[in-house]
Structure 1
Amino acid sequence: MSLPATTSHNEPEHRFTSSLSPDDFKALFRGHPGGVAVITADAGDGPVALTATSVSSVSAEPPLLIFSVSALSSASAVLARAETVVVHLLDAHDLEVAKLGSTSGIDRFAQTHRWSRLVTGEPVYHDVRAWVRCAVIGRMDAGGSTVIAAHALQAQLERDASEGAALVYHNRSWHRLGDHSRID
């Protein structure tokens, strides 16, 4: 069965008579770990950042990725207007940056030694495993979130994946994956 597509200007064609409750849906995905990224942008009013576990590669040629942003996020208004974003792909060494992007009510750019601007103007955090500068190519409203599609333009790899331990979010907590957690 295919679900009806939604866009930022159209309502879905069908309404479903039953649905999982928000609590049941959250409980379902607590058991599904996600890689951790921090997304930064500046649409002209100052930089914003948020931590996301929804980043996913879509295509290698052209190089595309997607992520989602809750309408409740303090960064959502800027991400709705930004033409470019920087997606920081984190490992366990970057836990403090992940926590910074996920903490409400703070200035995520107060510690000026942690970040700078690329020559193109986007805010970028220093010394993270990797970052990729992207052009936003599409947005789609999906429930209380917006799914953003982006084309990778430029990247920097500070640490290869084999040098660190992956950072994942699972069951409301941060986890480190490494050789100790390998099961094959």
Structure 2
Amino acid sequence: MATDASLDGDTRTERLHSGSVSADEFKAVFRGHPGGVAVITAYGENGPVSLTASSVSSVSVDPPLLIFSVSALSSSTPVITAADTIVVHLLDADDVDIARLGATSGVDRFADPTTWARLATGEPVYLGARAWVRCAIVDRLEAGGSTVIAAHALQANIERDVESGAAGNALVYHNRSWHRLTEHSRIS
């Protein structure tokens, strides 16, 4: 009997992918799994772009690395994946308008000049967001219809800090809608 280690790469991949769940099943599984909300911005040759993501995760504190994924279906993805640097805005419930803006197709996400500025290094940043991290993209991995991006944190700004152990005012995306986590949502 052949073990996975003795199979060639194509045969192993074929075995791993046989019996995959359907796209609808996969969406249903993750619909019940909440994610923190972030907006990623970059500056391209045609100006600033942004998109909303619930896939941002910290990977390492030394060096400070984070990852996120962007869908090939987003009009902002080509600029973000080609950028050397980006800004990841980590949002709370007070920033739901920024989250909605980044998630809305077909609108100018930078039409109101009072809501954003460019950092001295050129990246667009939304003013008043709970926190943001300017990052250098260090790796990209094509994964299905998305690109997973690894980024090294270069600069951070916190407008509204959350004390250790405090409930804060977190914004999460769950079951296709926005939710606020507060002291009342804490279970332990």
Name the TM-score, length of structure 2 as normaliser. 0.89
| Secondary structure class of the residue paired with 2:50 | strand
Aligned to 1:98: 99
Aligned to 1:45: 46
Tell me the amino acid that sits aligned with residue 109 of structure 1.
Answer: F
Q: Say yes or no: does 1:83 pair with 2:84.
A: yes
The answer (yes or no) to whether the contact 1:88–1:130 under 8 Å persists in 2 is yes
Aligned to 2:137: 136
Alignment of 1:169-180 (within 5 A): 169-180=173-184
What is the CA-CA distance between 1:13 and the residue it aligns to? 6.1
Cα–Cα, structure 1 residues 98 and 12, in superposed 2: closer, same or farther, change >3 Å? farther
The answer (yes or no) to whether the contact 1:130–1:159 under 8 Å persists in 2 is yes
Q: Deviations over 1:109-137 (max 9, x none)?
A: 00110000000000000001000000000
Q: 2:80 and 2:116 mapped to 1: Cα distance?
A: 19
Q: 2:11 and 2:42 mapped to 1: Cα distance?
A: 29
Superposition RMSD on alpha carbons, in Å?
Answer: 1.6
Q: 1:84 and 1:146 mapped to 2: Cα distance?
A: 16
Cα–Cα, structure 1 residues 12 and 145, in superposed 2: closer, same or farther, change >3 Å? farther
Structure with max Cα Rg: 2
Q: Which runs of 4+ in 1 moved over 6 A?
A: none
Aligned to 1:22: 23
Alignment of 1:118-129 (within 5 A): 118-129=119-130
Q: 2:65 and 2:89 mapped to 1: Cα distance?
A: 15
Cα–Cα, structure 1 residues 12 and 67, in superposed 2: closer, same or farther, change >3 Å? farther
Aligned to 1:159: 160
Q: 1:43 and 1:69 mapped to 2: Cα distance?
A: 16
Name the TM-score, length of structure 1 as normaliser. 0.91
Tell me the amino acid that sits aligned with residue 174 of structure 1.
Answer: W
Tell me the amino acid that sits aligned with residue 173 of structure 2.
Answer: Y
| Secondary structure class of the residue paired with 2:47 | coil
Corresponding pairs, count: 175
Q: 1:150 and 1:136 mapped to 2: Cα distance?
A: 4
What is the CA-CA distance between 1:161 and the residue it aligns to? 2.2
The answer (yes or no) to whether the contact 1:62–1:151 under 8 Å persists in 2 is yes
* Percent identical: 66
| Secondary structure class of the residue paired with 1:94 | helix
Q: Which sections of structure 2, spanning at least 5 residues, go unmatched? A: 5-9
